[in-house]
Amino acid sequence: MEAAAGGGGWDLNSLVAVLTQGEAQLRQLCECMAARSPAEQEKQLVLRAQSCFQTAICMAKAADSDLFQAAAAAAAAAAAASPRSNSGCSANSERALKEQQRKEMCKKRKTLRKWTSRVRVLGSSNGHDDGFNWRKYGKKDILGAKYPRAYFRCTFRNAAGCPAMKQVQRSDDDPFAIDVTYRGDHTCLQSKRPQPGAGAPPALSSEPAEQKQQLLHSLQTSLKVETEGFSSDDQNHNCFSFSSTPASGGVSPPFVSPTTTPESSSFWLSSDFGDLFSAVTPANDYSSYTDFILDSAGFAAASLFDASAFFHDSEI
């Protein structure tokens, strides 16, 4: 796919190629370092640099996707519609651009992957967090539904062109259940895990390891995810997975034991955890701290949460 990134004489494929080359060289450096048993700090630096490269590659690839193309096409269309200077017709071209983007959005909405999850939050009804940063952009009363539907899009939609969106609606029949409909996969590779000592609550960071194990055990027994719209051969993806590298795919952590049926599974967040997290975190920010707890207890870094790894190929 040839995606001109403006009139600068380069395209995104070239950018991806350069970044990939950089990452490969970094990997070589890593191998060289391994031969002379480097210090832990050096290893961490290389790993972080590698992670940066991988993120940049993914972002470049994301920018190469439809949204970017749509924006470029819209800009081109607007420019073609107003051949005179931008200064004279900026309002018109801006309107044309928005009109074009809206049409592209409507087209894209039909093609975006879509899947639904039902999440139960016992003892707390203040929302749902799935590890991503979402920005609310609308709320709508739905005919026949007791509760309004909230609309969210990925916080990094503008920054990284991430097309992911979700709709959240409280279930009519079960006030503790919320139905979450996702559209599109994240391309932004968000990292939400709070850094120890940089925002992590002292109460948790100073907990004894035994207590953390108990928390994990409690989490294991009280977490249940309910999803809909999965094909029967996708059971492997019906659970949360935390991976240390974005491309490594889902590795099911030992604490998740989803009670899946071919078509549905469900999450339950117990009131214990709701209370615990609400006591130490901003509202709706539980997952950051599950990540933190897991990491503290010795699990692999849970810095990335790839929805496509969890809810795979489940178009409705």
In whole angstroms, how close is the CB of 21 to DNA at the nearest point? 33
In whole angstroms, how close is the CB of 127 to DNA at the nearest point? 9
CA 133 vs CA 103, 130, 217: distances in Å:
26, 8, 26
Q: Which CB sits closer to DNA, 128 or 153?
A: 153
Cβ atoms within 10 Å of 196's Cβ, excluding its own? 12
Distance (Å, whole) CA 72 – CA 165? 21
In whole angstroms, how close is the CB of 163 to DNA at the nearest point? 10
Cβ atoms within 10 Å of 217's Cβ, excluding its own? 11
Q: Which CB sits closer to DNA, 27 or 103?
A: 103
For residue 88, give every residue at least 6 positions away whose Cβ sits within 8 Å of its Cβ, in sequence order, or none: 82
CA 10 vs CA 79, 165, 302: distances in Å:
20, 30, 35
In whole angstroms, how close is the CB of 110 to DNA at the nearest point? 7
Q: Which CB sits closer to DNA, 151 or 273?
A: 151
Q: Which CB sits closer to DNA, 141 or 210?
A: 141
**Where are the alpha helices (H) located in the chain, listed in sequence order?**
12-35, 40-63, 66-81, 86-111, 157-160, 202-205, 209-222, 271-280, 286-296, 307-310
Q: Which two tokens stand for residue 248?
A: 């490594």
Q: Which CB sits closer to DNA, 164 or 215?
A: 164
* Secondary element (H or E) of residue 168: strand 165-170
Residues lying near DNA in the complex (CB under 7 A) are found at 98-99, 101-103, 105-107, 109, 134-145, 149-151, 153, 155, 165, 167, 183
For residue 95, give every residue at least 6 positions away whose Cβ sits within 8 Å of its Cβ, in sequence order, or none: none
In whole angstroms, how close is the CB of 92 to DNA at the nearest point? 14
Q: What is the DSSP string of 253-264?
A: -TT------SSE
Q: Which CB sits closer to DNA, 134 or 255?
A: 134
In whole angstroms, how close is the CB of 217 to DNA at the nearest point? 31
In whole angstroms, how close is the CB of 98 to DNA at the nearest point? 5
Q: Which CB sits closer to DNA, 118 or 183?
A: 183
